[in-house]
Amino acid sequence: MSSSSGYRIAMEEGFSGKDVGGLVKVVLSFEGTNIENHGHVSTDNELWKQKPRTAEVSIIGSGVINYDDIKLVSFRFPIRFYPAERLTDAELDLLDAEQIKFVVRHYTQKKAAQ
């Protein structure tokens, strides 16, 4: 995503749509110093049909992402694919009330103690 609003837009447009077969979609944040080429998403790309606001703030590129470049991995799981024993108490309450459709989890790289 090429702007600070990109993550917000991705969350608003949603994950787990028909473009990924209703499964899990992931947002990965990383340092882009190893990206060899990049540019905006071409208007003939399927993303413009599926999620135009996401396409507007997205960049397509190629290169190598090293493990140390990764800053954040964010998952949004449909509740039916997430194990109930891993839900928080608040999420279990929402599940019981049928008021939860997705579970969001963010993971950051643990840095070694200095």
Return the pLDDT at 44. Answer: 94
What are the residues whose beta carbons fall under 8 Å from the beta carbon of 108, sequence distance 6 or more? 71, 72, 73
Give the N- to C-terminal CA distance of the chain in Å, as an integer.
32
pLDDT score of 108 more than 70: yes
Burial 35-60 (b: 16+ CB within 10 A, else e): eeeeeebeeeeebbeebeebbbbbee
Write the DSSP string, 10-61.
Answer: HHHH-SSSGGGTTS-EEEEEE--TTEEEEEEPPTTSTHHHH-HHHHHT-EEE
User: Could you give the percent of the chain with pLDDT greater than 90?
Assistant: 18
pLDDT confidence tier of residue 11, bands split at 50, 70 and 90:
low
Type of residue found at 98: E
Q: Are strands 70-78 and 25-30 parallel, antiparallel or unpaired?
A: antiparallel
Taking 60 as the threshold, does the pLDDT of residue 75 lie above it? yes
Reported pTM: 0.65
pLDDT in tens, 80-103: 888 999 999 999 999 999 999 888
Residue 19: its pLDDT value, please? 56
